[in-house]
């Protein structure tokens, strides 16, 4: 369900789209250019340089900063990527503060050759929701899915009938761009967008923004506030009251910013405490997990001692980390051992490995048996251990002493 804010934004987008279809934007652009030409050269230069931006370009081993003032672009500085993150942040802050513009925009620019460019013709009915339509058509128009790329578009001309709209689509894979943005984060730069160079580095932006909306720098639309202030000044002629009002607004914004910073710090502390608690719980459960993963050898030996007949002795007993059990030994009638061990609560799926062979020296049958330990039942561990301590079988002890020279137990 759409919120009132989302509905307002959608209505504004539709209004701008309909306004762009009229001749008014072209007329106002021409009219403004004619009026701008009558101004003195010094005023034109001052007004033309109001909008400044820093354009970042990543080269091997360094970060190049370009300063854009109006239509002019010049190199502003370089930051070596081999420096520590603290040094990179200090250098970037120094270069950023060298531009006396509180609303300075920061863009990361990449080569157009690294992007995929497609020209599409779409119905004009899709103009109000071009981004959603392009995301839906992404896997048909490109080798990627919408969640694998960052993209932006520029709407072009319409056909003669006015039914189709030309759209220039620019796509860049997420993995490529995310790696560079992660490396760029060490400088502390907060980006307003990701754009492409028109031609060579320093030649100017292409006018795109490949960075998702949720990752862009949060800024206020000061132009709208300024227009409202000028309209109020023209209607009410109360300049002093307006200045005071703007001052109060600035103080309120500063107070809110301070509260937001404090809330962010508190949230970070809560996150650190939660992480510490999770680490503590994990450490506390280590011994329990270790015990659960370790076979209970006392219960196994107790079960074998009670179930194996007196004419049977073991030469080798091996248990691996996955609970696989391997038993080698000799018995008077080895074939009966399977039925005997199937009744065990500790051992599961006993079976012979290979054939039973007679031993002419001991007059017994030599066997090689494999099985699987059952999952541990902690409630039965203590009774099994107590039983192993309390029950003594002289015949089993005698059997072990008699077969000791042949045993190769492991």
| pLDDT score for 402 | 37
> What pLDDT is stored for residue 400 in this prediction?
42
Look at residues 340, 399, 388, 393 and name the one whose alpha carbon lies nearest to residue 367. Answer: 340
Please tell me if the domain spanning 23-219 has the same topology as the one spanning 297-373: no
**What is the pLDDT, as a whole number, of residue 342?**
87
Residue 359: count of CB within 10 angstroms of its CB: 11
pTM for this entry: 0.47
Neighbours of 339 (CB within 10 A): 9
Of residues 134, 127, 205, the one with CA closest to residue 169:
134
Phi, psi of 209, rounded to the nearest 5 degrees? -145, 95
Q: Are 79 and 92 in contact (CB under 8 A)?
A: yes
In sequence order, which residues have a C-beta less than 8 Å from that of residue 409 and are 6 or more positions away?
Answer: 314, 315, 316, 317
Structure tokens at 15: 């209004």
Q: What per-residue confidence (pLDDT) applies to 107?
A: 92
How many Å apart are CA 391 and CA 307, to the nearest integer?
13
What per-residue confidence (pLDDT) applies to 286?
77
pLDDT in the model for residue 409: 36
The helix, strand and coil proportions of the chain, stated in percent and rounded to the nearest 5, come to 50, 25, 25
CATH of domain 23-219: 3.30.420.380
pLDDT of residue 397: 41
- What CATH number is given for 297-373 in this structure? 3.30.1360.100
Q: CB–CB of 225/234 below 8 Å?
A: no
Separation CA 225–CA 218 (nearest Å): 16
Q: How far apart are CA 367 and CA 113, in angstroms?
A: 71
What confidence score (pLDDT) does residue 303 get?
Answer: 87
Domain ranges of the chain: 23-219, 297-373
pLDDT value of residue 60:
87
Low pLDDT (below 70) residues in the chain: 1-10, 12-13, 16-17, 19-21, 41-42, 44-51, 162, 219-225, 290-295, 376-410
């Amino acid at each position: 369900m759409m919120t009132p804010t989302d509905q307002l934004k959608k209505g504004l987008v539709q209004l701008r789209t309909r306004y762009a279809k009229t001749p008014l934007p072209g007329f106002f652009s021409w009219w403004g250019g004619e009026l701008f030409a009558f101004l003195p050269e010094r005023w034109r230069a001052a007004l033309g340089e109001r909008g400044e931006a820093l354009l970042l370009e990543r080269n091997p081993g360094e970060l190049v900063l370009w300063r854009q003032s109006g239509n002019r672009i010049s190199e502003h500085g370089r930051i070596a990527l081999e420096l520590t993150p603290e040094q990179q942040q200090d250098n970037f802050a120094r270069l950023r503060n060298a531009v006396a513009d509180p609303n300075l925009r920061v863009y990361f620019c990449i080569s157009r050759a690294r992007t995929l460019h497609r020209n599409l013709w779409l119905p004009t009915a899709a103009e109000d929701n071009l981004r959603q339509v392009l995301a839906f058509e992404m896997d048909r128009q490109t080798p990627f899915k919408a969640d694998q790329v960052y993209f932006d578009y520029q709407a072009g001309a319409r056909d003669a009938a006015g039914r189709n709209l030309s759209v220039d689509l620019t796509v860049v894979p997420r993995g490529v761009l995310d790696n560079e943005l992660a490396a760029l984060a060490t400088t502390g730069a907060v980006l307003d967008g990701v754009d492409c160079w028109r031609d060579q580095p320093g030649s100017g932006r292409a006018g795109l923004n490949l960075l998702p909306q949720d990752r862009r720098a949060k800024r206020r639309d000061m132009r709208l506030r300024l227009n409202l202030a000028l309209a109020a000044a023209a209607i009410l002629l109360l300049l002093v009251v307006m200045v005071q009002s703007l001052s109060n607004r600035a103080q309120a914004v500063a107070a809110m910013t301070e509260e937001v910073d404090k809330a962010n710090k508190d949230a970070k502390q809560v996150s650190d405490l939660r992480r510490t608690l999770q680490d503590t719980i994990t450490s506390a459960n280590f011994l329990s997990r270790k015990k659960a993963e370790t076979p209970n050898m006392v219960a196994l030996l107790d079960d074998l001692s009670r179930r194996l007949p007196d004419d049977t002795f073991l030469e080798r007993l091996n248990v691996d980390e996955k609970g696989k059990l391997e038993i080698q030994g000799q018995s008077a009638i080895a074939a009966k051992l399977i039925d005997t061990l199937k009744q065990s609560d500790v051992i599961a799926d006993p079976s012979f490995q290979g054939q039973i062979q007679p031993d002419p020296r001991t007059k017994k049958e030599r066997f090689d048996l494999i099985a699987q330990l059952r999952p541990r039942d902690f409630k039965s561990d203590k009774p099994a251990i107590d039983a192993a301590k309390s029950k003594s079988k002289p015949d089993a002890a005698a059997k072990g002493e008699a077969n000791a020279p042949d045993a190769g137990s492991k």
